[in-house]
Amino acid sequence: MMIFGAIPLFFMELVLGQFHRTGAISVWKIAPIFKGIGMAECLISYYVAFYYNVIIAWALYYFIASFSRVLPWTRCDNDWNTDRCYTSANASAIPANGSSSTAEYFERAVLGLDSDSGIGHLGAPRWRLVLCLMGVFVILFFSLWKGVKSSGKVVWVTATMPYVVLSVLLVRGLMLPGATEGILYFITPRIDRLSDPSVWTDAAVQIFYSVGAGFGAHIAYASYNKYHNNCYRDCLLTAGINSATSIFSGFVIFSYLGFMAKRENVEIDEVAKWGPGLVFVVYPEAISVLPGSAIWSIIFFFMLITLGLDSAMGGLEAVLTAIKDEYSWFIKRHRYGREILTGVVCGTAFLFALQNVTNAGIYMLSMWDTFAAGTAILFVVFWQAVAVGWFYGLEQFCNDIEQMLGFRPDWYWRVCWKFVSPVFLFVIIVSSIASYNPLVYKTSTAGDYTYPPWANALGWVIASSSMVLVPVVAIWKLSSTPGTWSQKLAVNISPHWEHRAIMSGETKVKRFQVSTYPTHTTSVVFIVKL
């Protein structure tokens, strides 16, 4: 998925942003009919800010709670604990249907989750989480309000700090009993799982999330690069470092999971939880049994905060740059236009995020996480590959790269852009929809929560709200462009520098004919010089 999907489209986005010097919306002056792709990418990034920053707020909550003599999730005598609670100290004698003190702290003390909660009964926002969430958005605002001048400086801390902390945690984790078993579990392949379509869908979503393709962030940041910056090198280095970091962090995590499994005398599968349970239940429990646990906890959650802020800045910068470029007149008219725009985007995202810090907010967060940027991001990236490879044209795109970088992409890039990546994405999109199962959220203290049918329908509305922008904007562009239908179509699938010639009658449209026009290769409709 990385080699044939994420890397080619990552490089494509860097080229688009760096060559055309605009954000994710305005860049589609190369083919206006696909402007909805940029809008969809920005909307998805905006949606992600609703729930991703809540996870950072949880990390901030834990970070503050770690400044105590005894970590609060290591005890069972608190108001939020149940009679089924057990601690890491007595993990060898787990009661029937018992729940760990770390799970009860996360689900009951932090989230306020109980058996009466449900997505239809969210309740009021929890004030402690609201303050943490507000703190996260305030940090993001001051990191972004001056554009890349401010965010670029912050990234020096947020991008490098996790490597230092992970290295320290790995050294400590390798010294624990059971670490070897955990690492072996991590690196031992299970080839039979490749027959499961959900594995491929998860791989695609994960790598696009991890690399960041499809969110508009790379187009935004690349638009600030120098024109001849070697974005090809940047693409390969970033993708390589990204995957190496994932593997490295896997060693760190599974060394502790192996330790937990050995200590509780259970299989690693039973402690290797997915989702927030891994970060906010399993890892705090593993840290709590280490000497000087409070120090380790402070270090770990500080790392999570910096790591989260780094990703959150990229997503919001994609939105800010796209709006700034599309409505540059507003920014130029107002002295503090960038600051006002940043305040509006961060402020509204904060208000929408409040739904996820209520007593049942975890159910809303899980729904946003499943639908906002799952199938939707793959759908948008699919159309991005089609738009560049089949309408803007590979020949023109390769000419842009040669003019900017001094070389033409070889056959691997061409084949991926035109055939392999779109086909891969299309198959994954169809598989993800066909293999969809109604949402179920598993908790340790309140049992499994099955989402009602209307909640699943709402989730698909969220997913569709971004995907529908692609056809809706295409129809709007065709209907609002002056001229005959041939001219409308010709203008909207052509770069902006060809529009004057098209509208003046110097070019005409011929259907299903191989083009000799210098900026295009093949397409459904071709512009042919008279």
Where is the binding site for Na(+), in residues? 210, 242, 307, 310-311
Q: What is the DSSP letter of 497?
A: G
Q: Using CA atoms, how far apart are residues 41 and 373, in angstroms rounded to an integer?
A: 9
Residue 529 phi/psi, 5-degree rounding, is: -65, 135
Question: Counting Cβ atoms within 10 Å, is residue 346 exposed (0-12), middle (13-18) or buried (19+)?
Answer: buried
- How is residue 241 written in tokens? 């470092």
**H or E element: which one contains 342?**
helix 337-353
Compute the distance between CA of residue 25 and CA of residue 90 in angstroms, rounded to an integer: 56
Q: How far apart are CA 53 and CA 68, in angstroms?
A: 25
Inter-helix orientation angle 485-492/469-480, to 10°: 130
- The CA distance from 218 to 18, in Å, is 9
Element (H, E) at 252: helix 231-264
| 241 DSSP 8-state letter | H
Residues belonging to the binding site are 210, 242, 307, 310-311
How far from chain centre, in Å, is Cα 530?
46
Q: How many CA atoms are closer than 13 Å to the CA of 133, on its beta-carbon side?
A: 27
Which residue in the block uniquely carries the two structure tokens 């842009």?
Answer: 400
- Measured in whole angstroms, how far is the alpha carbon of residue 165 from the centre of its chain? 22
Please give the Cα distance from 61 to 513 (Å, whole number): 62
DSSP-assigned letters across all residues of 14-78? HHHHHHH---TTGGGGGSGGGHHHHHHHHHHHHHHHHHHHHHHHHHHHHHHHTSSSS-GGG-S-S
Helices (H), 76-146: 101-104, 127-144
Report the candidate in 113, 124, 110 with the shortest Cα–Cα distance to residue 65: 110
Structure tokens at 115: 């058996």
Whole-angstrom distance, CA of residue 155 vs CA of residue 514: 47
